Amino acid sequence: MIHVDGRTLINFASNDYLGLSFHPAVCMGATGALAESVGSGASRLVSGDDPMLHRLEQKLAAWKGYEACLIVGSGMLANLGLLQALADRHCHCFSDKLNHASLVDGVRLSGAKAHRYTHLDTAQLEQQLQKHAADRRIIVSDGVFSMDGDCADVAELLSLAETYDTLLLIDDAHGTGTVGETGKGLSDMAGVAGHARLIEVGTFGKAFGSYGAFILATHELIEGLKQRQRTMIYSTALPVALIAAAETALAIIEKGNEVKQLQRNLHYFKAATADLAFMPSDTPIQPMMIGSDEKALSMAKSLADHGFFVPAIRPPTVPEGTARLRFTITAAHTEEQIDALIECLRDVL
């Protein structure tokens, strides 16, 4: 549920895909740590480097199948700092045109030479790689794209990275905890997790129900980031309560019940809306293209008037003329809520 302008609405817009932000065990984990302290008090390189951070980093690396992990303050901080640490004016970055703003800004602020390829067009990407040779190159892409709900072909991108001697950076913020039978995300589904050329970014702010982010890569690269990533070095460390919440959430995700429930709900929703004009997506992000800003806003208002929160997504978040309703399905939704939403949506349409 969400409270908007004095009304309580059923939330079909949240990125809390597994409902863990209000899970009793996750809340209890945070509350227990909160009883000891609120803030961490300093950056990780001064005195804010709590042992719980290292324990969770080890657990995340083992779960996702990578050598090492580095926890930072947020997904935005992760991508900005990561790209500035890896790239400079001598580097070439090749980015999907629909990448998240944190990746776009990270490339810009790094000073690297930027090349953008049409969304998911790996043939065009290969042409760019052939054209722009350099000693250092990075392919940069979202895993699950947050406004379209479609996915990068991680295996194909990694194949190009190997062929053309580049690194591959995948931000799988929306895939972690939601994609694949165990919720390990796209790199696990593709069988490439832990590859030496692959750097993966994940977040605690979505399926984990907490806050913060993490970077997964080789030991060598993570150790280098500890010395060069300014958004980690010069930021106050995450409060221990959030780390405790994320660690508890990881244990719940590993058990698999919430992941399976999410996938059941998603299958139920897609089957019941197969005749409606939803964009192709097998992820919890289920967008419906509307087109005009005015129509999207009007439909969002109608849904809210009937008790459902589904915001209209408009430019500049998405390109002009592609305003949409962005539905998200979570493990916390009931079939009755999904049925009621679909009935209302059909009336609005």
Q: How far apart are alpha carbons 14 and 309 in whole angstroms?
A: 9
User: Encoding tokens for residue 69?
Assistant: 């992990």
Residue positions annotated with a catalytic role? 146, 174, 206
Contacts of 203 (CB under 8 A, 6+ apart): 74, 75, 78, 173, 176, 212, 213, 214
User: Encoding tokens for residue 305?
Assistant: 């008037």
Buried b (16+ CB within 10 A) or exposed e, 138-173: bbbbbbbbbbbbbbbebeebbebbeebebbbbbbbb
Q: How far apart are alpha carbons 316 and 104 in whole angstroms?
A: 14
Task: Please state the φ and ψ torsions of residue 98, each to the nearest 5 degrees.
Answer: -105, 20
The DSSP secondary structure of 183-245, one letter per residue, reads S--HHHHHT-TT-TTEEEEEESSSTTSS--EEEEE-HHHHHHHHHH-HHHHTSBPPPHHHHHH
328 bridge partner residues: 285
Neighbours of 34 (CB within 10 A): 15
Neighbours of 251 (CB within 10 A): 13
Neighbours of 100 (CB within 10 A): 21
DSSP at 20: G
Counting beta carbons within 10 angstroms of the beta carbon of residue 51, is it exposed (0 to 12), middle (13 to 18) or buried (19 or more)? exposed
User: Encoding tokens for residue 347?
Assistant: 């009336």
